[in-house]
Amino acid sequence: MSYEVPHFIQGKKISASNRKLEIYDPVQGKLAGHVLVADRQIVQQAILAAKQAFKTWSLTTPSQRTKILFRFKALLDKNIEALAKLVTQEHGKTLAEAIGSVQRGIDVVDFTCGITHHLKGVFTDHVATGIDCYSLHQPLGVCIGITPFNFPAMIPLWMFPMALACGNTFVLKPSEKDPSCSLRLVELAQEAGVPDGVVNIVHGDKETVDALLIHPDVNAISFVGSSTVAEYVYKTGMTHHKRVQAFGGAKNHCIVMPDADLDQAAEQLVAAAYGSAGERCMAISVVVAVSDETADKLIANMKIKITHLKIGSGFSADSDVGPLVTQAHLERVQSYIALGKEEGAKLIVDGSQYKPKEFTNGFFMGACLFDHVQPHMRIYKEEIFGPVLCIVRVANFDDGLKLINEHEYGNGTAIFTRDGYIARTFADQVQVGMVGINLPVPVPVAYHSFGGWKRSIFSDIGMYGSEAIRFYTKLKTVTQRWMPRISS
């Protein structure tokens, strides 16, 4: 049955819109519903609701907000499976992956429940005789969040609960490809006691984003998506005097040293490269094998594991990998297979045309593995964002490190080795924001912070953890002196 995803403004679903976009069922490859597109007027309505709500929400005490956030967390826990089903239905990832991703979002809500501690200022008495100095973390006002298709629950949950905990109000613009889960998230927030207007949703595409970015009443922008759009959002937001954090794309390398446990490395790399159909900003997309012998052994091992990957509906408990999100994205990823062959890389596993028998119209493809990839090739330089892994062979650790440091992206990276000195040198010298040692997907836990380097981020402030407190508040420092009353 076809459905339509409305906006959510001032605590109500809003169905007005001149334009709609299509939402697909990626397993069947069929149109499933539509999402409305917010024009300037709808955006204005949402920002106004958030601006009005800020007047009272910013005056609530951190502990009053914590009580609501605790209830929100409990409701998320209770509804985790239902939320994950919405993710699987529109994104395609397996239900187990979807549950894991919602949990990573709930972990951030968990962190917000301790906001009273994090908003404590610093006080120094007697910075000079009779003079004290103290700092306050004050909310910014109306914050907006623009999120990508690959984590439709987790990334919104990395943003709006932190913003709300700090006393801000929020307008979310979720990905138009899988918007249903975000709507459910804000309904649960409302049920938990978040007052009307404090968190709102406008759906849409570039038209909606542009109206948000330049709106005079928007104070801060959090963006996650591709680097081209991240850079555009960053520059536009900065030009309009907003605080902006914009997270972009990735090409995450993993060095495999000759002394590594190659069986363990192969197992983990297959999951890190092909899990969620490679649609993860922390997926490993390049393996840097140190020596030909390491490459040959690793590849032999990975090939066996790849043949065991079960590709099918995300709702089937047997599936390891689901479909890609849309036909357009599938075709884009497939075009890189032809390109890689033209560029001279050796395609040693070709799943590019694979479809499960029962879903021949679905947006499926199987795992692809390129060997002998060279740094000048586009399949090496560009983010493919699908189940495609490149193997680059190098002679030694230093060459591998140099390769990573010269790449334009710097989101995540990893190394497999048994040598503590090499691991430590890698962690110390690699020019990447998130590093794994014998762990290929080093997404930091909620009480640390998330953020890449180089073209994977535009801004200096990371997501969630203490970085989010810094992003969603502004610092005020008061220096005070009080005189005794003069008695008459």
Q: How far is the CB of 406 from ligand NAD (least distance, A)?
A: 19
Q: Give residues 390-409 in contact with ligand NAD (rule: CB under 6 A).
A: none
Per the CB < 8 A criterion, the answer to whether 163 and 221 are in contact is: no
Exposed, middle or buried, 240 (CB in 10 Å: 0-12/13-18/19+)? middle
- Taking alpha carbons only, the member of 403, 182, 377, 366 closest to residue 277 is 366
User: Which one, 223 or 397, has the nearer CB to ligand NAD?
Assistant: 223
Alpha helices in 289-326 (DSSP H): 292-307
> Given candidates 57, 149, 234, 472, which one binds ligand NAD under the rule CB under 6 A?
149
Q: Binding of ligand NAD at residue 150 (CB under 6 A)?
A: yes
Q: Binding of ligand NAD at residue 277 (CB under 6 A)?
A: no
Q: Binding of ligand NAD at residue 245 (CB under 6 A)?
A: no
Q: Which of 181, 254, 281, 390 is catalytic?
A: 281
> Given candidates 36, 281, 324, 349, which one binds ligand NAD under the rule CB under 6 A?
281
Alpha helices in 321-415 (DSSP H): 327-343, 378-381, 397-406
Q: How far is the CB of 209 from ligand NAD (least distance, A)?
A: 4
Per the CB < 8 A criterion, the answer to whether 94 and 51 are in contact is: no
Q: Binding of ligand NAD at residue 147 (CB under 6 A)?
A: yes
Q: What is the DSSP string of 151-200?
A: -TTHHHHHHHHHHHHTT-EEEEE--TTS-HHHHHHHHHHHHHTPPTTSEE
- Quote the CA–CA distance of 135 and 260 in Å, as a whole number: 49
What letter does residue 359 receive in the DSSP assignment?
G
- Quote the CA–CA distance of 413 and 452 in Å, as a whole number: 10
Q: How far is the CB of 177 from ligand NAD (least distance, A)?
A: 7
User: Which one, 110 or 279, has the nearer CB to ligand NAD?
Assistant: 279
Please indicate whether residue 281 is annotated as part of the active site.
yes
- Quote the CA–CA distance of 111 and 90 in Å, as a whole number: 28
> Given candidates 27, 229, 345, 367, which one binds ligand NAD under the rule CB under 6 A?
229
Q: How far is the CB of 245 from ligand NAD (least distance, A)?
A: 10
Output the CA–CA distances (angstroms, integers) from residue 428 to 407, 425, 431, 438, 469, in the order listed: 17, 5, 9, 15, 26
Rounded (5°) CA angle 379-384-385: 155
Q: Binding of ligand NAD at residue 224 (CB under 6 A)?
A: yes
Write the interaction track for ligand NAD spanning residues 363-392; mark x where CB under 6 A is met and - where it is not.
--------------------x-x-------
- Quote the CA–CA distance of 455 and 480 in Å, as a whole number: 43
User: Which one, 132 or 205, has the nearer CB to ligand NAD?
Assistant: 205
Q: How far is the CB of 208 from ligand NAD (least distance, A)?
A: 8
Q: Binding of ligand NAD at residue 62 (CB under 6 A)?
A: no
Place of tokens 């501690």: 117
Q: Binding of ligand NAD at residue 467 (CB under 6 A)?
A: no
User: Which one, 85 or 104, has the nearer CB to ligand NAD?
Assistant: 104
- The encoded tokens of residue 221 equal 């922008």
Write the interaction track for ligand NAD spanning residues 165-204; mark x where CB under 6 A is met and - where it is not.
--------x-xx----------------------------
- Taking alpha carbons only, the member of 55, 63, 6, 36 closest to residue 198 is 55
Q: Binding of ligand NAD at residue 252 (CB under 6 A)?
A: no
Q: Binding of ligand NAD at residue 144 (CB under 6 A)?
A: no
Residue ranges in contact with ligand NAD by CB under 6 A: 146-151, 173, 175-176, 205-206, 209, 224-226, 229, 232, 247-250, 281, 383, 385, 411, 452, 456
Q: Which residues are catalytic?
A: 281
